[in-house]
Amino acid sequence: MSATYVYGLIAADADLPEDLVGLGPSGSVSTVAHGKLAAIVSDVPMDRPLGTRDDLLAHERVVDSVVNHTTVLPMRFPAVVEEEGLVEELLGPHQEHFLAILDRLDGKVQYTLKARYEQDVLLQEILEEDEQIRRLHEQVRELPEDAAYYDRVKLGELIVRALEKRREVDAADIVERLEPFAADVSTTTPSQPEDVVLAAFLVERDAVPAFDEAVEDLGRDTHEWLRLRLLGPLAPYDFIPQE
C-alpha cells in the first residue's frame, strides 16, 4: 500500500499551475480526479517523519499557488491517505459535501489581516491618560528592581488590561472599515496584548483591488500607532466548515 499526500481539493476541470513543488521525494505534484472533484496530491517521504519546517512550507506554497488559478479547499496539515482510499473514501463518498463548499467559496480568496500596536506610542498614550498607571509607573521607576517586583507585575497587568480594552474598540473599527469589501469575515482574538486584530476576509476576486485599496487607506490613516500586515491571496482556510 502506498501513501499519498493531499494538499487540497479543486474542481475536476480546473488547471494547476505547472511549477508546483511537493513535499515528497519526487517533488512533483499532480491531481487525481473523480467525478467533478479533483485532489491535489503528491508522494510522501517514507524515510523520515513528516512535519519538518520544509514540509509545512511546501504544503502552504502548493495550496496558495493554486489560489491564483482556481478555488481550492485546503487540507489541514498533515493530510496523508492510502492511495486506494483517495477515491474510495475521500472523493467518492463526500463528493456532494465538498462540491457544496467549493461552490460557496468559488471565485473568492482569503486575505488575512494582522494589526499590531506600535507599542511605544500606545504605552505613552496609556500613561498620559490613566492616572493610576502613571502613578504606579513613577513609583516603580524610583525603586530598585527587586524591591518593586509586585508593583511591576501590577503595573504590567494594568497596562495589559488597558490595551485589551482599547483593542476591543480598535478591532471592531478595523473590521467595520473593511467589511463592506468582503463577502465574509472571520476574526480571532489574538493571544498577545499588543496584537489588535487577526481577521480573515473572504474577498470576491473582482473586489480584490477595492479591498486592497481600503486596507492601504486604513494603513495610511493609522500608521502612527498601528502596524498592518496583509497576507494573501490565500486559500479560504478560515471559511472551511469545521467538522
The residues in 101-160 that bind other proteins, with binding defined as CB under 8 A, are 112, 118-121, 123-124, 127, 132, 136-137, 140-141, 143, 145-157, 159-160
Indicate the residue among 128 and 168 with the shorter CB distance to other proteins: 128
C-alpha–C-alpha distance, residues 76 and 8, integer Å? 9
Within a 10 A sphere around the Cβ of 191, how many other Cβ atoms? Answer: 7
Largest interatomic CA distance in the chain: 73
Number of residues located near other proteins, criterion CB under 8 A: 95
Burial (Cβ within 10 Å: 0-12, 13-18, ≥19) of residue 230: middle
Q: How far is the CB of 172 from other proteins (least distance, A)?
A: 20
Q: Using CB under 8 A, which of the segments 24-32, 56-64, 164-172, 174-182 binds other proteins?
A: 56-64
Grid cell in block for residue 23? 513535499
Q: How far is the CB of 133 from other proteins (least distance, A)?
A: 8
Q: Using CB under 8 A, which of the segments 24-32, 54-62, 166-174, 175-183 binds other proteins?
A: 54-62
Q: Which of 193, 195, 197, 199 binds other proteins (CB under 8 A)?
A: 193
Interface with other proteins, residue 216, by CB under 8 A: yes
C-alpha–C-alpha distance, residues 133 and 201, integer Å? 36
Q: Using CB under 8 A, which of the segments 22-30, 90-98, 171-179 binds other proteins?
A: 90-98
Interface with other proteins, residue 57, by CB under 8 A: yes
Q: In this structure, are strands 37-42 and 80-82 parallel, antiparallel, or unpaired?
A: unpaired
Interface with other proteins, residue 63, by CB under 8 A: yes
Interface with other proteins, residue 96, by CB under 8 A: no
Local structure of 242: helix, strand or coil: coil
Indicate the residue among 17 and 180 with the shorter CB distance to other proteins: 17
C-alpha–C-alpha distance, residues 4 and 78, integer Å? 11
Can you name the residues that pair with 81 across neighbouring β-strands? 4
